[in-house]
Chains A and B, each alone.
Chain A
Amino acid sequence: MYQKNVTIKLCALIVICIFIAFPLLAGGTKPEEEAMERPAKAEVITITVWDQFGYEGLTAAGPAMDKLVEIYEERNPNIKIERTYVPQPNIRDQLRIAVSGGTEPHMWYTWPAAAVLASYARPGHIIDLTPAANRLGWFNKLPQLIINRNSYKGKLYAYPTEQDYMLIYYNKDIFREVGIQVPKTYKEFHSNCKKLKSAGYIPVAFGNRDKWPATNGLSYFFALMAGRELQEEVWFGDTLWNNPSYVEACKEFLDWVDRGYFPKGFNGIDFGEANSLFMMGDAAMNFTGTWMIEDFVNNATFDLGTFFLPQIKPDLPQATMMGEGSQWSISSRYPKDEQEECIKFLDFLMSEENYKIWIEEGSLVPIVKGGLNWDMFEVSQVIKETFINGDKMAQVNGYDLHTTTPESVTETLYNNLQLMLDKEITPVQFLKAMDDSWKKAKAADEIWVP
């Protein structure tokens, strides 16, 4: 009896040990070690794709993606594209878990770039696209800033896709009613806000309950008041976050709060609710990015317009925050010939012949060096003008903070910026917290190096 019990306990112990040891042995292994041996050559190669192209709201490019997949499969009968739509923001978590478990698709479309992309590139989970980019002319199609944001230590690891700008949306009907024009100077902008407040309107719709919207706002102020050059000194040099220009930019953001430009209690209003305030006509302007432009154009019941904030500092040009919505990456886990098929499909997706489908059927504006020839596309004048004006500042536009910082720093950014806007901490305290977090991230080698 004793021996039986011991045997049973021993068996149970072995089973538990196998259970425990298995994930540690399986997790985090080098992808090249796991790269599958390609079985006997199949007639049809299946490429698995995860993307965040939905059918309404943010990144509603699902119909365009469906159409492009159909066209590609028709032209390439030996290729089957198995597409899975994974909504934002879940795609980030699901992808990371899939990669760590070795079950990721061949290629995926997600965000953000820079430091987070580097965390996939560093251990070799995604392939170096530099040879393909050289061969297929991708470097000639993309602006240098965007190439850098998708590179790590001189190698391109992702193909950036959506052009994003921060801007101000405005309700032309309210502007007419109050008797104001699109501001040509920053002083005029303040004067407009004052008049809007007197007329009972919320000057600028803004909600920061989700924490990320304020980072876009601050990125915009950094672009206007610190400039790209200084930002790059912080990203890649030893310049501290707590520098005079950043302090000044934070104070300017706070000044908008003090002047009552935002809705009362904006830290308790979420992004969607802030947009509703604008769309319902309670707020005259909205402080967000081009990722909302199609939604606003399609649903506004008023005359919609956009403008970029005028120059704030005389020594720095007018600029905005620029970024790529998301980007395509290819897994290194699959055989070389399948990786090559992914590159071909990616090249097809982002080829000039398909810009029309992305823009007209997917509401997605591809990133193109020097901007697009908008005469070719049938889209609203508001969209055309917005991107044309944004492209004009391409050489000076600044960085999007929360898609550039490592995730540990992003948490500090979100929480402390919320506290700063709530006056719990000062701009200097906020920036010192950023410096502390940045220092730790640097020590842990989490920093992005283009």
Chain B
Amino acid sequence: MVMKNWKAYLFILPAFALYGSFILVPSIQNVVYSFFHWTTLTEGTFNGIKNYIELFKDKVFGLALLHNVIWAALTILFPLIVGLVLAVTLSKLKSRVVLSTIYFIPATIPFVVSGIIWGWIYNPIFGLLNQFLRGVGLENLTRSWIGDRKIALYALNILGGWTFYGFCAVIFMSSLQNLDQSIYDAAKIDGASNLQTFFHITIPSLKGTIIFLMIYSIIGAMKFFDIVYITTKGGPGYSTEILGTYIFKLAFRQQRQGYSSSVAVVLLILVMTLSVIMLRRREK
């Protein structure tokens, strides 16, 4: 079989070599390291499943995981809904290409830059948000948006959503364009309202796209790092600590490579399990 298709294998070899070198092998290495105590500057020593036992006693890990779950839930909820509503609205307009490009712009801005910009917007003294609230007489609503541990995670999630909703809108729009117009015409003849059409035709027709975006959102939410690290570094305290920032700190700030690998393995298992479940549902 291999010899028969050797040309095909030859063509996929460069891509596979890159994938193997930078994704597959490091992932396997990471699993191996998770059974070691290793500070990078010293030789690693095998310590069995001690890292995994510690993981289940680690309160910060639990908190970071919870924050990731909240982040994923909010990401599925808001950017997807906003993106879908926007796509349905825009698809009826002539200027949809221009408008969708405008809405897509935040997705093209690097997360680091978005983090810096929104850090200024959220500044409690001269930030745009508080200035606006003061301007419209809502001074009592002004906050230290990312300095207040009760709301910092949600404030950052809005920022994350801002970078993502345009992407969702564009994907939904491209799927909407492929829908069979005759179904809508038939519904119209049958007297279906816009809302009925939306819930009974558009949403079921977009099931595949919705599941794709949900998987994409969950994976994105689980491996999220940039914005949180740039803006709050997981603070105040641990209130915005997520698995990505925790892994980074363990590996590169605390030099606990072995333990950080065990956290990364848990993250990998979570993301893979969720992806498989969602993909199976999509196939059904």
Contact string against B for A residues 7-46, beta-carbon threshold 8 Å, 1 for contact and 0 otherwise: 0100000001001100110011100000000000000000
Q: How many residues does chain B have at the interface if contact means C-beta atoms less than 8 Å apart?
A: 46
Closest to A409 in B: B254
Are B28 and A16 within 8 A (Cβ)? Answer: yes
Are B124 and A422 within 8 A (Cβ)? Answer: no
Checking A97, A282, A418 against B236 with a beta-carbon cut-off of 8 angstroms, the contacting residue is A418
Are A5 and B125 within 8 A (Cβ)? Answer: no
Are A265 and B147 within 8 A (Cβ)? Answer: yes
A415 within 8 A of B: yes
A120 within 8 A of B: yes
A1 to B1, CA, bound (A): 8
A282 to B126, CA, bound (A): 11
B123 within 8 A of A: yes
Name which of B144, B148, B238 has the most chain A CB atoms within 10 A of its CB: B144
Checking A5, A96, A97, A210 against B233 with a beta-carbon cut-off of 8 angstroms, the contacting residue is A210
B-side contacts of A270, CB under 8 Å: 119
Q: Assuming A96-B252, A209-B146, A407-B254, is B237 touching A119 (CB within 8 A)?
A: no
Contact string against A for B residues 229-267, beta-carbon threshold 8 Å, 1 for contact and 0 otherwise: 001111111100000000001001111100000000000
Checking B28, B43, B147, B253 against A209 with a beta-carbon cut-off of 8 angstroms, the contacting residue is B147
Closest to A15 in B: B20
Are B28 and A119 within 8 A (Cβ)? Answer: no
CB distance from A373 to the nearest CB of B (A): 40
A269 to B235, CA, bound (A): 12
CB distance from A402 to the nearest CB of B (A): 11
Are B144 and A264 within 8 A (Cβ)? Answer: yes
A86 within 8 A of B: no
Are B29 and A20 within 8 A (Cβ)? Answer: yes
Are A265 and B144 within 8 A (Cβ)? Answer: yes
Are A28 and B235 within 8 A (Cβ)? Answer: no
Checking B24, B249, B255 against A119 with a beta-carbon cut-off of 8 angstroms, the contacting residue is B255
Q: Assuming A19-B21, A27-B44, is B237 touching A268 (CB within 8 A)?
A: no
Are A123 and B42 within 8 A (Cβ)? Answer: yes
Closest to B241 in A: A415
Are B119 and A265 within 8 A (Cβ)? Answer: no
In this complex, the interface size class of chain A, counting residues with CB under 8 Å from chain B, is 35 or more
Contact string against A for B residues 130-167, beta-carbon threshold 8 Å, 1 for contact and 0 otherwise: 00000000000001111111001000000000000000
B8 within 8 A of A: no
A424 to B238, CA, bound (A): 11
A-side contacts of B29, CB under 8 Å: 19-20, 23-24
B3 within 8 A of A: yes
B10 within 8 A of A: no
Q: Assuming A96-B255, A407-B255, is B43 touching A29 (CB within 8 A)?
A: yes
Are A28 and B145 within 8 A (Cβ)? Answer: no
Checking A266, A415, A416 against B147 with a beta-carbon cut-off of 8 angstroms, the contacting residue is A266
Are B41 and A8 within 8 A (Cβ)? Answer: no
A-side contacts of B152, CB under 8 Å: 268
A8 to B120, CA, bound (A): 56
CB distance from A83 to the nearest CB of B (A): 24
A409 to B40, CA, bound (A): 18
Are A415 and B237 within 8 A (Cβ)? Answer: yes
Checking A1, A120, A407, A422 against B253 with a beta-carbon cut-off of 8 angstroms, the contacting residue is A407
Checking A19, A27, A119, A269 against B25 with a beta-carbon cut-off of 8 angstroms, the contacting residue is A19
Are B252 and A419 within 8 A (Cβ)? Answer: no
Closest to A283 in B: B125
Are B145 and A268 within 8 A (Cβ)? Answer: yes
Are A100 and B43 within 8 A (Cβ)? Answer: no
B-side contacts of A16, CB under 8 Å: 20, 24-25, 28
Contact string against A for B residues 39-74, beta-carbon threshold 8 Å, 1 for contact and 0 otherwise: 111111000000000000000000000000000000
A-side contacts of B147, CB under 8 Å: 209, 265-269
Checking A8, A20, A100, A273 against B40 with a beta-carbon cut-off of 8 angstroms, the contacting residue is A100
B-side contacts of A273, CB under 8 Å: 120, 123, 125-126
B225 within 8 A of A: no
Are B124 and A209 within 8 A (Cβ)? Answer: no
A20 to B24, CA, bound (A): 10
Checking B40, B231, B254 against A28 with a beta-carbon cut-off of 8 angstroms, the contacting residue is B40
Are B25 and A422 within 8 A (Cβ)? Answer: no
Are A411 and B253 within 8 A (Cβ)? Answer: yes
A123 to B39, CA, bound (A): 11
A8 to B44, CA, bound (A): 32
CB distance from B193 to the nearest CB of A (A): 46
A99 within 8 A of B: yes
Are B41 and A28 within 8 A (Cβ)? Answer: yes
Closest to B147 in A: A268
A410 within 8 A of B: yes
Q: Assuming A4-B2, A28-B38, A28-B44, is B237 touching A418 (CB within 8 A)?
A: yes
Are A422 and B236 within 8 A (Cβ)? Answer: yes
B203 within 8 A of A: no
CB distance from A433 to the nearest CB of B (A): 11
Closest to A116 in B: B255
B122 within 8 A of A: yes
Q: What are 6 sample pairs from A and B whose C-beta atoms fall under 8 A apart?
A: A28-B43, A96-B40, A267-B235, A270-B119, A408-B254, A419-B236
Could you list which residues of chain B lie within 8 angstroms of chain A, going by C-beta atoms?
1-3, 20-21, 24-25, 28-29, 32, 38-44, 119-120, 122-126, 143-149, 152, 231-238, 249, 252-256
Query: 4 nearest interchain CB pairs?
Result: A268-B147, A265-B144, A265-B124, A268-B144
Additional A-B contacts beyond A93-B252, A270-B119 (6; CB < 8 A): A16-B25, A20-B25, A210-B233, A263-B125, A273-B120, A424-B237
Could you list which residues of chain A lie within 8 angstroms of chain B, going by C-beta atoms?
1, 4-5, 8, 16, 19-20, 23-24, 27-29, 93, 96-97, 99-100, 119-120, 122-123, 125, 209-211, 263-270, 273, 277, 282, 407-408, 410-411, 414-416, 418-419, 422, 424
